[in-house]
Structure 1
Amino acid sequence: MSVFALGLNHTTAPVDLRGRFAFTLEQLAPTLQQFRHHVVGPSQPVRADAPPEAAILSTCNRTELYCAAEPAMVRPALAWLAEVGGVGTDTLSSHAYVLEGGQAARHAFRVASGLDSMVLGEPQILGQMKQAVREADAAGTLGTTLHQLFQRSFAVAKEVRTSTEIGSHSISMAAAAVRLAAQLFEDLREIRILFVGAGEMIELAATHFAARAPKSIAIANRTLERGEKLATRFGAEAIRLADLPARLHEFDAVVSCTASTLPIIGLGAVERAIKARKHRPMFMVDLAVPRDIEPEVARLGDVYLYTVDDLAQLVQSAGEKRQAAVAQAEAIIETGVQSFVHWLDQRATVPLIQALQSQADNWRELEIARARKLLARGDDVEAVLDALSRGLTQKLLHGAFAELHASDPAQRAQLAATVSRLFLRGDAKGR
């Protein structure tokens, strides 16, 4: 069994394609179970009694399927993911990456540490990865190998965070959005801002904008109670999502990030809002994947619409310090990768070790049973013990002797060296 990571992210696929493969937290467990059911079918190269371990990490910047399975599983996994996203396998392949063994571990460690993020060193990804692991565990698809991979990922990420300055050189998406807004509006204290959604990203964005003391803040959410809870924290107004089209014109800035699978702010609603605003500019940030705001909105002359990919252009860090922190983090990650690969290699020998132990136990039981019979009929104890030890020794060495006698001259030298390493571990006198 090996491990592999199959995915696409902000460096390999545009936001609209990533949106096809975005999963909400509620979708992760049933999707993982669907994947396992798919790959253990009669036409797939996986035994039903040995289903693959699997976990899915899905954020606005990436969707990744991590598996512990036989290498032959990669192609069926790719075909399954393409089907889920409603695209051809070739289309997905042109934007996806497949990493196996140590490369998969290195990728997981870099993701957890924030080195593979759009925002270098951003901390949110670690929490998202931990949630993905919890969902896989709840779905029953985690398993020992992936558990080890992710626990080691978390440990490496913690060491990177505490031993390097990688986190101090990050600019969050929320901070980048504030920077963009400051370029458009002369004074952020004079703007009215609307946040759509009430999740972690919106909470983070609201915290950054609230620090600039805007004229007013409103939060629209499908569940009013949750929206009111977040609004109370920022002294904001909570509004129903259904009221959004009628009130959109009131706001100078809109930041949206929901789990909706379809846009919730359409072109028509924004056109009406701009008309009601008498063409005063409107700043809009769509942090959702799939999109919350129809992409056609960007064509309107008085609207400045930015997606998560657009914000990447603002994410910058200090040159020399950033490179030094990255190099230090990569060294920590490499140590973790080597440790995991060693553990994985050891796992491959477990069935052989178990088989050897079982065979040795069988031999021992046979010789003890024979010794007991001899003792029961009154044989001398010393003679019985001698017979027991000779019987075990013969059984232990029989296989090696047989292989040496049967081997051809070309193989005999190598086989003899192996037998010597296995059995002649003491000095010449057998100590």
Structure 2
Amino acid sequence: MQLYALGLNHHTAPLAIRERVAFQPEKLALALYDLAHAESVREAAILSTCNRTELYFAAEQPQHAADWLARFHHVALNDVSPYLYAYPQRDAIRHVFRVASGLDSMVIGEPQILGQVKDAVRHAEQAGTMGTLLHKLFQNTFAVAKEVRSTTAIGANTVSMAAAAVNLTARIFERVADQHVLFIGAGEMIELCAAHFAGAQPKSMTVANRTEERALALASRFGAQTMRIDQIGDALARFDVVVSCTAAPLPIVGLGMVERAVKVRRHRPIVMVDLAVPRDIEPEVGELDDIFLYTVDDLAQVVDAGMESRQQAVIEAEQIISTRVDGFLHWMSARQTVPAIRALREHAEVLRRTELERAMRLLAKGDDPCKVLEALSHGLANKLLHGPTRYLSQADDEHKAEVGQLVHQLFNLPRQG
């Protein structure tokens, strides 16, 4: 059984491709079950974020995973295969360690990805697709991410997507404090955006979400108002900034809705930030003259990642990861010998008990204890050595030297000059 990783991300695929293979949360359980029962796949986990879709799985052969991904999302394999990467064993382990540590993110060192990896593991556990191999892999993954974050400066001065959204808004409007902001959704990303915008003290903030309880909980933290998501169309003209990040499979904000809002606003601009994958705002909205529409890919261009100040931290993190990859591969290699070790110990135990029972019977008959112990030791030694001795004697002439060397190593025998 081998470990594999297959997927695409913001490095390899544009947003238009990424959103076609993104997994909706409500379909993850079905997807995991389907993947784990695909040909040759035994264990599986799926990581799906705005920047990446990745399959981590244990299988005998990996070639069916790409076919499965395309088939599940009803897309042609030829449409996505140019953007896919596939990593076997060592590279797969290194990749997931790097992802969880924030080294493969748009913003190097950002902390959100670790929580997203943990969510992926939780979904796999709930779906029953986490076996021994993946469980151990992700245990090590979280330990590596913790070590990287606690012993290097990889997360120092990280500018998040949320902060970048505020920076973009400040480019269009002279003062964010004069603007009215609408947040669509109430998840972690929107919560981070709300926190950053709250720091700029806009005139008002409003949260629209399908679940009213979550909207109220988020709004109460930042002194924001709430509205139903089906009210957005009528209220859109009131807002200068719209930040959206939901798990909706189809756009929430359409071209016609925005055109009407622009007309009511008499062409006063609106900054729209779409952090969702698939997108919450129809791409055609960005073609309107008075709309400044930014996607997650656009935000990457304005993120001040501070790479120069973190180059040494990246080097240190890569060194940690390389060491931990070697450690995990050693565990995997050792794991392959466990059945043989168990069988050898069980065999020895059977021989020990057999000889011990024979000795106990002889002692019960009154035989000389010294002779009984001598017979016990000889019997046990002969039976334990029967297999190796037979193996040596039956070896082909051309392999006798090799077999002899192997037996020397197994039993740590002294070399004879």
Report SS of the residue matched to 2:19: helix
C-alpha contact (below 8 Å) 1:298/1:304 kept by paired residues? yes
* Paired position in structure 2 for 1:196: 184
Alignment correspondent of 1:49: none
Q: Partners of 2:274 and 2:80 in 1: how far apart?
A: 24
Tell me how many residue pairs correspond in the alignment: 416
Contact 2:40 2:59 survives alignment (8 Å): no
Kindly provide the CA deviation profile for residues 301-344 of structure 1, in whole angstroms up to 9, marking residues without a partner as x.
21111111111111233343221111111111112111111111
Contact 2:20 2:278 in 1 (8 A): yes
Letter in 2 for 1:85: H
1:350 corresponding residue in structure 2: 338
Q: Is residue 236 of structure 1 aligned with residue 218 of structure 2?
A: no
Aligned to 1:401: 389
Q: Answer yes or no: is 1:21 the counterpart of 2:11.
A: no
Pairing partner for 1:53 from 43, 59, 65:
43
TM-score by length of 1: 0.91
Shift, 1:232, TM fit: 1.7
2:142 pairs with 154, 159, 163, which one?
A: 154
Alpha-carbon shift at residue 112 of structure 1 (Å): 0.9
Does the 8 Å contact 1:220/1:238 carry over to 2? yes
Which residue does 1:388 correspond to in 2? 376
Indicate the residue corresponding to 1:131 in structure 2.
119
CA distance in 2, matches of 1:319, 1:243: 42
Match of 1:63 in 2: 53
Query: 1:99 & 1:410 partners in 2: Cα distance?
Result: 40
After superposition, residues 126-275 of structure 1 pair within 5 angstroms as 126-275=114-263
Amino acid at match of 1:23: F
Look up the SS of the partner of 2:246 in the other structure.
coil
What secondary structure sits across from 2:156 in the alignment? helix
Gaps of 5+ in 1: 47-51
Q: 1:9, 1:18 within 8 Å by CA — same for their partners in 2?
A: yes
Q: In terms of mean alpha carbon deviation, does 15-24 or 306-315 score higher?
A: 15-24
Q: Structure 1 residue 403: deviation in Å?
A: 2.3
How far 1:425 moved relative to its partner? 4.2
Match of 1:6 in 2: 6
How far apart, CA to CA, are the structure 1 residues paired with 2:70 and 2:370?
71
Seq. identity, %: 56
CA distance in 2, matches of 1:20, 1:351: 43
After superposition, where does 1:114-125 map in structure 2 within 5 Å?
114-125=102-113
Q: d(CA) in 2 for partners of 1:271 and 1:199?
A: 27
* Whole-angstrom distance in 2 between the partners of 1:419 and 1:362: 22
**Aligned-pair Cα RMSD in Å:** 1.9
- Is the 1:120–1:171 contact (alpha carbons within 8 Å) kept by the matching residues of 2? no
Which residues of structure 2 form unaligned runs of 5+? none
* Equivalent pair of 1:120/1:169 in contact (CA under 8 Å): no
C-alpha distance in 2, partners of 1:97/1:336? 22
Offset of residue 287 of structure 1: 0.2
How far is 1:377 from its partner?
4.6
Distance 2:411 2:149 in 1: 47
Contact 1:122-1:167 within 8 A present in 2 as well: yes
TM-score by length of structure 2 reads 0.94
Correspondence 1:81 to 2:66: no
Deviations 1:217-275 (A, max 9, x none): 11111122221221122111101111111111111110000010111111111111111
Q: Is the 8 A contact 2:408 2:414 kept in 1?
A: no
Pair 1:260–1:357, CA change in 2 (3 A) = same
Aligned 8 A contact 2:47 2:55 in 1:
yes
Secondary structure of the 1:283 match is strand
Matched, 1:91 2:79: yes
SS of residue matched to 2:182: strand
